[in-house]
Homo-oligomer: A and B are copies of this chain.
Amino acid sequence: MTADGTQAERDRLQRVLGRLALEEKQALDRLFSLLSIPSVSTDPAYHQACIEAAEWCAATLREIGFEARVAPTSGKPMVVGHWRSGQSGAPHVLFYGHYDVQPPDPRDAWNAGPFAPHLAEDARHGTVIVARGASDDKGQVMTFLEAARAWLGEHGALPVDVSVLIEGEEESGSPSLAPFLAAHGEELRADLALVCDTGQWDENTPAITAFLRGLAFAEITVTGPSRDLHSGLYGGPATNPIRVLAAILATLHDADGRVTIPGFYDDVREPSCEQLEQWRALGFDADGFLGEIGLITPAGETGFSVLEQLWSRPTAEVNGIYGGYTGPGTKTVIPSQASAKLTFRLVPGQLPAKILDGLHRFVEERLPQDARATFSGEGGSPAIGFDTQAPAFRAAARALEAEWGKKPVIAGCGASIPIVESFRSTLGMDSLLVGFALDDDRIHAPNEKYNLESFIKGARSWARILAELGAIERHART
């Protein structure tokens, strides 16, 4: 997009970074202003505050130089903004964040009011911003808006065309998101989504989340006798569906923790050697990770590190099981049915429907003559693995390395992130997941904080990413 050589580009960026440095105090005031609005989406008592936060975001976008509006939904409104260079064919990104926050409960556990943002000193992290939403996600949203403000304030232009979507229901299941994307797809579709709702590897190391596991889910119900039986009068001869179900579930993994469904691993795409090398070099504290939840031994596939098990290996989990009598005391029943809820975490390459087909066959083959199985509540979505060699991805990695002095970790995420799936499935759009949160930000908990450094360097990171995205054409040529 920009064709004026490297030094000119660097100068332009330096002026933006300089402006961000000069405006730190005002930027913090603006963030505090947003943090003081109690925009809890899940509690109807805060509905008006959500409207207020949406209007605050739209007003801020207009102040920066965007066209922006508060777009109604059947729930909380969306904030939609656009800045266009007017050049046809210009690269175009869609920034996504959310203005709603988790409820502040338990309030008594806060050292100060959850919606009275303030700075505090943290033994480990230095100065931190404390308030509900400081990290999730208002602080993160503001890193981008401050970067955009500095670019537009300094140069009257952004390096790429930018649209913004800030939703108000992320903390309450995003019920309005899919219909809104469906209705406004043409307006919102961009070359790439920038999603700022994730974290860093650690306080010194940025991260780009590039692998998100998918999901397949099913409920198995095993039926034995045609009705519940008295275990005294039938115990022995009568097939017990709980025993049948337990026996099937017990064979779902082998002694090495591998899923035994035939073909389960057939389509698994392995991470590159380079990628695995990076993960191994991270020195992930597996003992600490497990110790925090009272565990010692990784239960996943042997031969894979905990990080690989989480980021790059599929799983089969039993999320729920029920059958027979589950109240207090004893009831001597042989139930007619027993059920289990299963989910499979999938990795790139695996197809939910194929995994569920495999499950059906696996179960059917293990049923004794006097039991049958039915499957219900099935569905799923495939894993997402972004091409880490794509120009935009490499551009972001360069920008983060320039800001933080080290290469970003190309991270996985064991869980799916709904917005990323929606952008892909509804708009056919990849996402660049960059965020500056830290594991100890206490999101969803009392005394949520965001490091002041996360806020400052986050804004600088976005200023750099926008510059690099704008310079992609030149890099692509080199």
B238 touches A295 (CB 8 A): yes
A290 CB within 8 Å of chain B: yes
Q: Which of A124-132, A164-172, A177-185, A306-314 contacts B (4 or more CB under 8 A)?
A: A306-314
Q: How many copies does the complex hold?
A: 2
Q: Digit string of A330-350 for contact with B (CB within 8 Å is 1, else 0)?
A: 111111001011010100000
Contact of A313 (CB < 8 Å), options: B217, B236, B251, B310: B236
In the complex with contacts A310-B237, A324-B319, A331-B320, A232-B289 CB distance below 8 A: no
Assembled-state Cα–Cα distance A312/B236 (Å): 10
Chain B residues whose C-beta falls within 8 Å of the C-beta of A294 in the assembled complex: 225-227, 370
B226 touches A293 (CB 8 A): yes
Assembled-state Cα–Cα distance A102/B191 (Å): 73
In the complex with contacts A250-B246, A290-B238, A368-B299, A343-B338 CB distance below 8 A: no
Chain B residues whose C-beta falls within 8 Å of the C-beta of A369 in the assembled complex: 296-297
Q: Which of A47-55, A108-116, A394-402, A410-418 contacts B (4 or more CB under 8 A)?
A: A410-418
User: A142 to chain B: closest CB distance in Å?
Assistant: 26
Chain B residues whose C-beta falls within 8 Å of the C-beta of A237 in the assembled complex: 286, 289-290, 295, 298-300, 306, 309-310
B331 touches A415 (CB 8 A): no
Residue of B nearest to A232 (CB): B415
Chain B residues whose C-beta falls within 8 Å of the C-beta of A242 in the assembled complex: 249, 318-321, 340
User: A308 to chain B: closest CB distance in Å?
Assistant: 9
Chain B residues whose C-beta falls within 8 Å of the C-beta of A239 in the assembled complex: 295, 297, 299
Assembled-state Cα–Cα distance A235/B306 (Å): 10
- Residue of A369, A370, A377 with most partner-chain B CB within 10 A: A370
Contact of A318 (CB < 8 Å), options: B215, B301, B324, B368: B324
A163 CB within 8 Å of chain B: no
User: A194 to chain B: closest CB distance in Å?
Assistant: 22
Chain B residues whose C-beta falls within 8 Å of the C-beta of A213 in the assembled complex: 232
Assembled-state Cα–Cα distance A246/B242 (Å): 9
User: A227 to chain B: closest CB distance in Å?
Assistant: 7
Residue of B nearest to A338 (CB): B321
Chain B residues whose C-beta falls within 8 Å of the C-beta of A243 in the assembled complex: 249-250, 252-253, 317-318
In the complex with contacts A332-B343, A370-B296, A415-B230, A317-B235 CB distance below 8 A: yes
Chain B residues whose C-beta falls within 8 Å of the C-beta of A413 in the assembled complex: 232
A283 CB within 8 Å of chain B: no
In the complex with contacts A229-B293, A332-B215, A414-B319 CB distance below 8 A: no
Contact of A325 (CB < 8 Å), options: B233, B249, B253, B341: B341
A135 CB within 8 Å of chain B: no
Chain B residues whose C-beta falls within 8 Å of the C-beta of A238 in the assembled complex: 290, 293, 295, 299
**A210-259 with Cβ < 8 A to chain B:** 213, 215, 217, 219, 224-227, 229-240, 242-243, 245-247, 249-253
User: A266 to chain B: closest CB distance in Å?
Assistant: 19
B297 touches A319 (CB 8 A): no
Contact of A320 (CB < 8 Å), options: B230, B299, B306, B326: B326
Assembled-state Cα–Cα distance A232/B298 (Å): 15
Contact of A324 (CB < 8 Å), options: B320, B326, B328: B320
Contact of A321 (CB < 8 Å), options: B225, B232, B293, B322: B322
**A442-464 with Cβ < 8 A to chain B:** none
Assembled-state Cα–Cα distance A243/B218 (Å): 16
A303 CB within 8 Å of chain B: no
B414 touches A235 (CB 8 A): yes
Assembled-state Cα–Cα distance A48/B321 (Å): 45
A319 touches B299 (CB 8 A): no
Residue of B nearest to A310 (CB): B236
Contact of A234 (CB < 8 Å), options: B217, B293, B322: B293
Chain B residues whose C-beta falls within 8 Å of the C-beta of A44 in the assembled complex: none
A225 touches B310 (CB 8 A): no
A236 touches B414 (CB 8 A): yes
In the complex with contacts A235-B414, A299-B236, A299-B368, A333-B319 CB distance below 8 A: yes
3 smallest CB-CB distances across A and B, nearest first, come from A232-B415, A226-B294, A250-B250
Between A and B, 9 residue pairs with Cβ closer than 8 Å are A236-B298, A236-B301, A236-B345, A237-B299, A240-B299, A319-B330, A319-B332, A320-B324, A321-B323
